């Protein structure tokens, strides 16, 4: 499902913003950041700042869980990762992240490209903010999910 490890200058920002906002590393800092994010034992995704934000990154596990390849995932508006009924809830969540910088207690239902529903728990969502304070989007990570009927 993967097209290999993506090479994107924003990958460093995913890990740096997480560490700055949550006070702990997202992945092993002793490794190449692109490889560490790609191979992490947790889903890691990120979207940009467009009016309808589009994912620019999904790691290996995210592509498996969402049942997409990297080319398709990075064209997906992030709102489509949630079912239509959950999109209002997701919008409230993103407003809270924009206001507070991060949350570490999100739970909700997501849907794969094949229509499989799954519940995520203890998801962390954070702003991608560079050293100058400019926001480049938001990222999320979770290690707990379970399929739903």
Q: What is the CATH number of domain 11-147?
A: 3.30.450.20
pLDDT at 88: 77
pLDDT at 4: 64
pLDDT, tens only, 89-130: 777 877 888 888 899 988 889 999 999 999 999 999 999 999
Where b means 16+ CB within 10 Å and e means fewer, 34-65 reads bebbbebebbbbbbbeeeebbbbbbbbbbbeb
pLDDT at 2: 39
Q: Which residues of the chain register pLDDT less than 70? A: 1-4, 85-86
pLDDT at 1: 36
Task: Provide the sign of the torsion angle of the four alpha carbons 24, 28, 30, 31, taken in this order.
Answer: negative
Residue 104: half-sphere exposure toward Cβ, Cα within 13 Å: 7
Please give the model's pTM, rounded to 2 decimal places: 0.90
pLDDT at 107: 87
* Residue extents of the structural domains in the chain: 11-147
């Amino acid at each position: 499902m993967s097209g290999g490890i993506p090479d994107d200058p924003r990958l460093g920002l995913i890990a740096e913003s997480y560490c700055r906002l949550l006070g702990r590393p997202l992945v092993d800092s002793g490794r190449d950041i692109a490889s560490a994010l790609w191979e992490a034992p947790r889903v890691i995704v990120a979207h940009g700042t467009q009016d309808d934000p589009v994912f620019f990154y999904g790691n290996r596990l995210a592509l498996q869980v969402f049942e997409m390849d990297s080319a398709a995932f990075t064209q997906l508006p992030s709102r489509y990762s949630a079912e239509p009924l959950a999109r209002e809830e997701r919008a409230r969540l993103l407003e809270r992240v924009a206001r507070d910088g991060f949350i570490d207690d999100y739970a909700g239902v997501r849907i794969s490209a094949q229509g499989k529903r799954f519940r995520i728990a203890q998801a962390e969502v954070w702003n991608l903010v560079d050293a100058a304070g400019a926001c480049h989007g938001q990222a999320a990570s979770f290690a707990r999910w379970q399929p739903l009927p």
